[in-house]
Amino acid sequence: MLWNALLLAFREIRRNVLRSFLTILGVVIGVASVIVMVTLGNGATRAVATQIESMGSNLLMIRKGQHMGPGQTSSAPAFDLEDTVALERDIPAIKSLAPSATDSITAVVGNASWATSVNGTDNRFFSVRNWTLERGRLFSASELSGGRAACVIGATVRKELFGPQDPIGSNLRLKQISCEVIGLLAGKGQSSMGHDQDDLVVMPLRTFQRRIAGNQDVTLIQVSIRDGESTERAKTDIERLLRERRKVAAGEQDNFSVRDMKEVATMLTGTTQVLTTLLSAVAAVSLLVGGIGIMNIMLVSVTERTREIGIRLAIGALEREVLMQFLVEAVALSSLGGVLGILLALGASIGLADILKVPFVFNGGIVLTAFLFSAAVGVIFGYFPARRAARLDPIEALRRE
Amino acid sequence: MTAATASAKNALLTWPRPASPDPAGQPLLEFRQVSKIYGTGTAAMRALDGVDLRIGPGEFVAVMGPSGSGKSTAMNILGCLDTPSAGSYLFRGVAVETLSHDQRARLRRHYLGFVFQGFNLLNRTSALENVELPLIYRRAPRTERHARARAALAQVGLTGWEGHTPGELSGGQQQRVAIARAIVTEPSLLLADEPTGNLDTARSHEVMELLVGLNRDQGITVLMVTHEAEMAAYAHRIIHFRDGRVADDGHAGGPV
Ligand SMILES: Nc1ncnc2c1ncn2[C@@H]1O[C@H](COP(=O)(O)OP(=O)(O)OP(=O)(O)O)[C@@H](O)[C@H]1O
Ligand SMILES: [Mg+2]
């Protein structure tokens, strides 16, 4: 019975290449689009989450002025090292903090030059921001206190200025100073805001202040909060302390800002989750459209094939033999379409994940759902109309056209 | 239901066909006041109007009559492809209208070969596969299926055309494929609705010789609709239909 059904079904598939192809195509598109969208959506969410972890959790960024966007300057006074000492002493929730001053400078090595962001800070910067060294070392105590020109560079700077060469021990020209590369940071990749985190040069704060900035300013203080402590509370405490130290009168606005990276993080993950939901909705629609396509082809084909069903019944087929044939046909086409759709989707997802720089996150559930949905549509709409036709008297079926 | 009809019914549904001969005197086919009405109310059309008919095993019968007189309607009911609106159709003593859908399908499979007026071949399917199809449903093994289908096509003079699809065949060739498909199963009853309708005279005579041979050598009962007296003359008996009734039922002069 099954063998016969297989034989008959495959003859039919071969006989109707175009129709079979269209059915398969409907399933392929439905399955592939859903899988690709959900996979990429999950990948993006995962990417943001990893990003935020790599930035350092429980991170607070203290800047001078308010609402400082890129390119904006503020007349508010900068911080100094006294501020950082006071913060560490008076606020127990602070685990560690790193004062820094930054500037955009073109770094030159031989003929190569690269505009990058130079960060004057100390070794705490690396732990606060979760940086790890790929090779070399961090600053020594004498380098930090003596204001020596030593620097640690990010992966992008290394790539642009040194190529494949080992940068350790070479010198980097920053404006008028020459600075020895002592360490190379492990790459973190693009941040979720599209900013290249590896594009930086780090040097001792004192060196930066004396030889590049020419002042004692600290423009940014990055603070990490102890695990289990409330960042909200710590933020309020810091604000109170800084208002006092910077003599901001009651009722006056802060002349600095404390940004909680957790807030930013939550906002970003929220955004990608909304995006994933949106993508999934689009995917669901395309699955539905694919399903309607399959349904359409199946319905049209069964109407067309009512005469064929009549012929089969007239020459000795039983109702269930006709049905088995249609079922095998529908299952074979839907499964083939499903498998092709899955293969296509996996290929496309891996490729797109690579291009979009998001991790490839395999979701077996969605693969199965998409496959079962399309297969079910194919089978249901191939089987039920055929069942109606196979229950007719053969002459009735033969008359329909 | 009596024990006799119950066992007759079982016999219809078992395969292979029971070897026992038909009970003496019992017709193979019997119409008792069979009517077929298409449509309802004033639009109702009596395609068959109280037809009584008995055909014995081994007969060769020609059915004639003007167009629209109900010949095809009667053939469809005889072939268990359609059911009467009123009256009873007995096949080997079993009332066909009491059988289930599935039982009628089995009856068709076990006993009948049918040649449609409009051929009803599967499109885009080779002549060989069309002729093989009834054998697939009868579970014939592949090699046997091929051999029998080729032999049937050879019997209707289509050797060399096995790979052609109906679209690539002339009307007469399609008709012969349809005949081959009906005889490939060695049915005990062959119903042919105008089997020579599309053939030239020489081919028509060949087909008639084939039917006569099947009837004579294999004892197949043959019922054939034809418009041509020349072809009807091959039959032992000619039934004339007019306006859904049997107008004349007489014996022909035998083969020319
Ligand atoms: N499905 C149908 N619905 C309505 N009327 C039908 C249907 N089938 C047949 N008829 C009518 O029943 C009558 C008998 O038709 P039938 O096909 O049996 O004629 P026929 O004797 O085979 O004619 P022909 O020699 O032209 O084949 C015709 O008047 C026809 O119009
Ligand atoms: Mg007719």
Looking at the domain assignment, is residue A23 inside a domain? yes
For chain A, the domain total comes to 2
A154 touches chain B (CB under 8 A): no
Looking at the domain assignment, is residue B218 inside a domain? yes
A393 touches chain B (CB under 8 A): yes
More confidently predicted of A265 and B51: B51
- Choose the residue to mutate in B63, B67, B73, B239 for probing ligand 1, maximizing ligand atoms within 8 Å of C-beta: B73
pLDDT reported for residue A25: 86
Looking at the domain assignment, is residue A307 inside a domain? yes
Beta-carbon separation of A314 and B79 below 8 A: yes
Q: How far is A369 from chain B (nearest CA, A)?
A: 36
Looking at the domain assignment, is residue A316 inside a domain? yes
Q: How far is CA A17 from CA A25, A377, B35, B63, B124, in A?
A: 12, 20, 44, 42, 11
What amino acid is encoded at B90 in this protein?
L
Mean pLDDT (chain A, rounded): 85
> In terms of Cα–Cα distance, which of A101, A130, A123 is closest to A191?
A130
End residue of a domain, out of A226, A257, A278: A226
For residues B101 and B12, give the distance between their C-alpha atoms in angstroms, rounded to a whole number.
14
- Percent of chain A topping pLDDT 90: 23
Let me know the angle formed at the C-alpha of B113 by B54 and B121, rounded to the nearest 5 degrees: 135
Same domain, A125 and A196: yes
Same domain, A313 and A379: yes
Looking at the domain assignment, is residue B191 inside a domain? yes
> In terms of Cα–Cα distance, which of A177, A199, A203 is closest to A188?
A199
For residues A228 and B80, give the distance between their C-alpha atoms in angstroms, rounded to a whole number.
84
Angle between helices A2-15 and A17-55 (to 10 degrees): 90
> In terms of Cα–Cα distance, which of A21, A23, A38 is closest to A297?
A23
β-pair partners for B241: B246
Same domain, A274 and A390: yes
Partner residue facing B81 (CB), from A15, A312, A393: A393
Looking at the domain assignment, is residue B217 inside a domain? yes
Looking at the domain assignment, is residue B122 inside a domain? yes
pLDDT reported for residue A119: 93
* Best mean pLDDT range from A331-345, A386-400, B21-35, B177-191: B177-191
**Domain at B18, CATH number:** 3.40.50.300
What domain range is A218 assigned to? 97-226
Same domain, A166 and A287: no
Looking at the domain assignment, is residue B62 inside a domain? yes
Beta-carbon separation of A312 and B120 below 8 A: no
Centroid of ligand 1 to alpha carbon of B68 (angstroms) = 5
Ligand 1, atom 31, lies closest to the CA of B68
Beta-carbon separation of A318 and B109 below 8 A: yes
Q: What is the pLDDT of residues B5-60, one digit of tens each?
A: 777 777 777 777 776 666 667 889 999 999 999 988 888 899 999 999 999 999 99
Beta-carbon separation of A4 and B76 below 8 A: no
The structure's pTM equals 0.71
Looking at the domain assignment, is residue A235 inside a domain? no
Looking at the domain assignment, is residue A188 inside a domain? yes
Partner residue facing B105 (CB), from A310, A319, A398: A319
Same domain, A272 and A159: no
Same domain, A282 and A217: no
Per 3-state DSSP, chain A is made up of helix, strand and coil in percentages (nearest 5) of 55, 20, 25
Q: What is the pLDDT of residues A314-363, one digit of tens each?
A: 998 999 998 888 888 888 888 888 899 999 999 999 898 888 878 888 88
Beta-carbon separation of B106 and A318 below 8 A: yes
Query: Does the CA dihedral B207-B208-B211-B216 come out positive or negative?
Result: negative
Looking at the domain assignment, is residue B256 inside a domain? no
A8 touches chain B (CB under 8 A): yes
Looking at the domain assignment, is residue A236 inside a domain? no
Question: Is the Cβ–Cβ distance between B236 and B230 less than 8 Å?
Answer: no
- B38 in ligand 1 pocket by Cβ < 6 Å? yes
Question: Is the Cβ–Cβ distance between A173 and A107 less than 8 Å?
Answer: yes
Looking at the domain assignment, is residue A85 inside a domain? no
Looking at the domain assignment, is residue B89 inside a domain? yes
Q: How far is B86 from chain A (nearest CA, A)?
A: 16
Q: How far is A294 from chain B (nearest CA, A)?
A: 23
Residue by residue, DSSP assigns B188-236 as SEEEEESTTTTS-HHHHHHHHHHHHHHHHHS--EEEEE-S-HHHHTTSS
For chain B, the domain total comes to 1
What domain range is B22 assigned to? 3-251
Contacts of A395 in chain B (CB under 8 A): 76, 81-82
Q: How far is B185 from chain A (nearest CA, A)?
A: 10
- B73 in ligand 1 pocket by Cβ < 6 Å? yes
Centroid of ligand 1 to alpha carbon of B244 (angstroms) = 9
Q: What is the pLDDT of residues B65-120, one digit of tens each?
A: 999 999 999 999 999 999 999 999 999 989 999 999 999 999 999 999 999 988 89
Same domain, A200 and A284: no
Looking at the domain assignment, is residue B110 inside a domain? yes
Element housing A64 (H / E): strand A59-64
Residues in chain A: 401
- Measured in whole angstroms, the distance separating CA A142 from the mean position of its chain's CA atoms is 41
Beta-carbon separation of B122 and A311 below 8 A: yes
Ligand 1, atom 7, lies closest to the CA of B38
For residues B61 and B229, give the distance between their C-alpha atoms in angstroms, rounded to a whole number.
13
> In terms of Cα–Cα distance, which of A213, A200, A195, A98 is closest to A152?
A200
Same domain, A393 and A300: yes
Runs of H (alpha helix) within A130-216: 141-146, 155-162, 205-207
